[in-house]
Structure 1
Amino acid sequence: MIDEFLNLTVATVSSTSTPTVLSVRGGGGTTHLVDQFPAHAEIFSDAERPLVQTVILASVLLLLILSCFIGNLFVILAIIMERDLRGRPQYYLIFSLAVADLLVGMIVTPLGAWFTVTGSWNLGVVVCDFWISVDVLVCTASILHLVAIALDRYWSITDICYVQNRTPKRITLMLAVIWFTSLLISLAPFAGWKDEGFSDRVTKQHVCLISQQISYQVCFAVFFSI
């Protein structure tokens, strides 16, 4: 009995979307233990989540999406319609930030809400690629806009010459750098900076995640830590 216990070895562990099978070899033969929970079991499907909880979750997410869309739309309209705001270069940053956040409410959040409510990604690899790219693009741009606005406020207080030299051309150049940097980061996976299991993860496990390539994630994290 002791020898059989010491000789137990785990031969196979399958972590795909199908039930995980553990083949345990012992002195008396092979025993198959089936794990009914897949690798992404932390994501609930409609069948696993109670109906009331699903409705509440969907309602809250819908409310957040509408708030994001309407709030940023009002900011954009206010800057366009108000002459005093439209004529000041510093409000170009706020306008561009509102555009980025509006895209979050129009594209990123609805697809993310659908993924959260349904518990699986069934929209295919192409839509997953598009969703992740737009997500990285607008979220990165939003963060960089906040940095630019903070610097603009700081320089306005500490440097008198900055206010006089804050021309629309300089602010436009700052916005160009922000959007170009964001676009470069978001399109990097399309240039091959993507883990090999991306397609299988989407088509078989029905999970849409950003590129799990270690080098991409490290560079992405280092960029935002600077």
Structure 2
Amino acid sequence: MHNSTAEIPHTAATYNETCPTQSPSSEFSLGVLVLLALLMVLLSLVTILGNSLVILAFIMDKNLRHRSNYFFLNLAVSDFAVGVFCMPLYIPYALTGTWHLGRSLCKLWLVMDYLVCTASVFNIVLISYDRFLSVTKAVSYRARQGIMSSPAIKMVAIWVLAFLLYCPAVLFWEHVAGHSVVAVDQCHAEFYNNWYFLLCASTLEFFVPLLLVTYFNMHIFHNIQRRQRRGSVQDCESAGSSSLSWRFCGLPRPGASSPSSEAEDSVSSLTRSWRPAAVANGPSRKESSSTALKRNFSASFSSKTGSKLQRDKKIAKSLAIIVCVFAICWAPYSLLMIIRGACHGKCIHKSLYEATFWLLWINSSLNPFLYPLCHMRFRMAFLKILCPQKLATPKSGNTPSL
């Protein structure tokens, strides 16, 4: 993400006079360098094309313009910036060990790199939080579906917080310190070896977000498991005892005088509307009509509950995949960055650190492929773009909600 391992520790400007920077060309053969260059360029192209597809899908498919899906769009924009700006500028620097583009562009690259990578992490937290609300607080979440200002504010806040975490330090560290510790032919942040700053920043950038998304996922799975247990024990359609069935399902028991839930109120009001006809036809017709109505309502209530539970299961699984990929890609880099800062780069081999650095960027390449894997709406939108002839005559029916 943020720093190059092509540099050596720079504690003073005179260090390069006695020990010049060792470039990868002195470690690898020409064939290996060409292979590395091809892999880096390929990764950049995959990142650009994948996230471009997500952005294009939002533009062309109105079904994707759902309140929660805008957070995926925000994530795609940050990942797209990684592929179109951060990776291409870093490739020649990684291969040669020398920055040839000047100090101004170096500062811009550092600001963009820190900004978009941090925004990508914060977007994953925001997506997890939104899914957490949709599963555990479904009623209040649906009540805010039409409010677009709230998601827009959250999306802007993500970029503001991401900028404030690293970018002021990138821009003004050397001015506050009074001198620069970065060589002329290198490009990395001034706090590259400041262990205290790296520990604090990494905590806010990775460890706190990881704890938050873990907390949200645990509550989502706990909520789903609780509803599954409740549904298996309190199956409205197959319960043998009618009084237990009505009580477990939140419906009024036969003969109950005062309903105690929204479902009971609905059945009670509908039953009262049928009452004149039932009385006219005699007591037996009244009882059969009321019982049939309650059974129909119970079946509808159970069907809707089961559909919501299945949708929430898909949400939980897709979110778990995205979060696990995020943790795998970010954890090695975050840990090694802190360790390397503490020992000033002497205890971590630069090749190992470079591998974790690219693993972090791979997360931006994988995210677009996780969307169609986990979300049917994204899959259908991608098919419309890539294979429009196959969907020229779509069958009637509702698009799945995920």
Task: Name the TM tier (shorter chain).
Answer: 0.7 to 0.9
Preserved contact between residue 134 and residue 186 of structure 1 (Cα < 8 Å): no
Preserved contact between residue 121 and residue 202 of structure 1 (Cα < 8 Å): no
* Match among 87, 90, 96 for residue 109 of structure 1: 87
Preserved contact between residue 81 and residue 116 of structure 2 (Cα < 8 Å): yes
Matched, 1:100 2:78: yes
Tell me the residue number matched to 2:110: 132
Return the offset for 1:165. Answer: 1.5
TM-score when normalising by structure 1: 0.75
Alignment CA distance shift 1:48-1:218 (3 Å): closer
Alignment CA distance shift 1:115-1:196 (3 Å): farther
Preserved contact between residue 108 and residue 131 of structure 1 (Cα < 8 Å): yes
Higher relative contact order (CA 8 A, sep 6+): 2
How many pairs were matched up? 191
What residue ranges of structure 2 are gaps of 5+ in the alignment?
Answer: 1-12, 209-402
Matched, 1:58 2:37: yes
Preserved contact between residue 104 and residue 139 of structure 1 (Cα < 8 Å): yes
For 1:180 and 1:59, the matched residues in 2 are separated by 35
Deviations 1:165-200 (A, max 9, x none): 143211111111101111222431255234859745
Return the offset for 1:49. Answer: 3.2
Report sequence identity in percent: 30
Tell me the residue number matched to 1:3: none
For 1:179 and 1:48, the matched residues in 2 are separated by 39
Return the offset for 1:149. Answer: 0.4
Tell me the residue number matched to 1:18: 17
Tell me the residue number matched to 1:75: 54
For 1:163 and 1:176, the matched residues in 2 are separated by 22
Greater share of residues in helix: 2
For 2:31 and 2:14, the matched residues in 1 are separated by 30
For 2:178 and 2:43, the matched residues in 1 are separated by 32
How do residues 116-195 of structure 1 correspond to structure 2 at under 5 angstroms?
116-160=94-138, 161-166=140-145, 167-189=147-169, 192-194=172-174
Return the offset for 1:207. Answer: 2.4
Tell which deviates more after alignment, 151-160 or 112-121: 112-121
The amino acid of 2:59's aligned partner reads: I
Deviations 1:120-171 (A, max 9, x none): 2122211111111000100010000000001111111111112321432111
Matched, 1:219 2:200: yes
Preserved contact between residue 198 and residue 211 of structure 1 (Cα < 8 Å): no
Tell me the residue number matched to 2:182: 201
Deviations 1:81-140 (A, max 9, x none): 001112x11111111111111110011111111211122212221111111100010001
Deviations 1:47-105 (A, max 9, x none): 5532111110100001000000000000000011001112x111111111111111100
The amino acid of 1:125's aligned partner reads: R
The amino acid of 2:84's aligned partner reads: M
Alignment CA distance shift 1:55-1:191 (3 Å): closer
Over the residues paired in the alignment, what is the CA RMSD in angstroms?
2.5
Alignment CA distance shift 1:82-1:131 (3 Å): same
Greater share of residues in strand: 1
Deviations 1:24-65 (A, max 9, x none): xxxxxxxxxxxxxx4x43x42x35532111110100001000
Tell me the residue number matched to 1:11: none
TM-score when normalising by structure 2: 0.44
Tell which deviates more after alignment, 214-223 or 141-150: 214-223
The amino acid of 1:52's aligned partner reads: G
Preserved contact between residue 170 and residue 190 of structure 2 (Cα < 8 Å): no
Partner-residue secondary structure (3-state), 2:173: coil
